[in-house]
Amino acid sequence: MKNKIEISGLEVHYEGKPALNRVSFDVHENEILGIIGPAQSGKTTLLKVINRTLEFVPEASMEGTVKLDGVDISTIGDVYGLRRRIGMVLPLPVGLPLSIYDNVAFAPRAAGLRAKSQLDELVERCLQQAALWDEVKDRLNTLGTKLSGGQQQRLTIARALSHAPEVLCLDEFSIAIDPVTTMRIEEVLKTLKKEMTILLVTNLVQQAKRLADRTAFFLNGDLVEIDTTDVIFSDTPTQQATYDYVNGTFG
């Protein structure tokens, strides 16, 4: 299976405090990789490394390499283009202070798409994929920030899909969403993995179990174990800590 992302020897420090310790693993193309682990284990930092938004954190320092399709991302000159290859859904929904339509059309426009008909079509498709279209189709011009929390989160998912990313990173996307909608989006993710690679950071181990092909377990900045989801959630993962966390004995 082809590797979409190859991470080797990744270390991140915030003002000298380690957030990720010499982490190395690969992400296969068109898989859903579940990333689980308690708070402060480095999951969000990992995503920030991948789309190079860690560069906005002045006190962070990083070592090691991250390759996307075999290319070291730190050597990519067009960082904005790189960020558009990676869709990012943050834990707390942030509707930009623009209309619903403009929220979704933001990234395509930033990339230079102007044609109204193409934008219309794209906005509709993304909102449908994010299971939001039916609720907002009559008020695409109202402010995105006026939507409820769960709707805003789906708006950010539609926004992340709008630039047709190769990698979709979801950082605990379901915190603000009700279970029924969560299930609908999970179904969407299963279809989407045919088109893209998905990194699913989640606090809900059951969500990883439902969706992920493989699962990585992080603890205090260390990658404890990465294996197929079946193995991680079996009675015999390699590490005792993995077993304990997955079965809720700690964390």
Partner 1 sequence: MNILRKKSKANLPFSETVIELFIRLCGISSIIFVFGIFFFVFREGAGFLFSGLNLTEFLTSVEWQPTSLNNKRYGAFALIVGTFSVTALAMCMAVPFGLGAAIFVSEFCSPKLRETFKIVIELLAAIPSVVWGFIGLTLMNQLIIQVFNAPIGLTMLNGSIMLALMSVPIIVSIAEDALKAVPDSYREAAEALGATRWQVIYRVLLPAAKNGLLAAVLLGAARSIGETMAVLMATGHSVNIPSGPLSWIRTLTATIAAELGEVARGDEHYQVLFIIGILLFTITFVVNLIADLVIKGIRQE
Q: How far apart are the C-alpha atoms of 244 and 250, rounded to whole Å?
A: 6
Q: Helix, strand, or coil here: 66?
A: strand
- Tell me, by CB under 8 A, how many residues bind partner 1: 25
**Do 167 and 50 contact (CB within 8 A), yes or no?**
yes
Q: How far apart are the C-alpha atoms of 166 and 84, rounded to whole Å?
A: 9
Question: What's the closest the beta carbon of residue 161 comes to partner 1, in angstroms?
Answer: 11
- Burial (0-12, 13-18, 19+ Cβ within 10 Å), 7: buried
106 is an interface residue for partner 1 by CB under 8 A = yes
Name the percent of the chain in helix, strand, coil, to the closest 5. 40, 25, 35
98 is an interface residue for partner 1 by CB under 8 A = yes
- Which of 22, 29, 67, 82 binds partner 1 (CB under 8 A)? It is 82
Stretch that binds partner 1, among 67-75, 83-91, 184-192, 196-204 (CB under 8 A): 83-91
133 is an interface residue for partner 1 by CB under 8 A = no
84 is an interface residue for partner 1 by CB under 8 A = yes
Quote the tokens at residue 84: 């558009």
Nearer to partner 1, 174 or 242 (CB): 174
51 is an interface residue for partner 1 by CB under 8 A = yes
Binding mask of the shown chain, residues 140 to 159, with x at each position contacting partner 1 by CB under 8 A: ----------------x--x
Nearer to partner 1, 90 or 204 (CB): 90
Q: How far apart are the C-alpha atoms of 64 and 6, rounded to whole Å?
A: 11
110 is an interface residue for partner 1 by CB under 8 A = yes
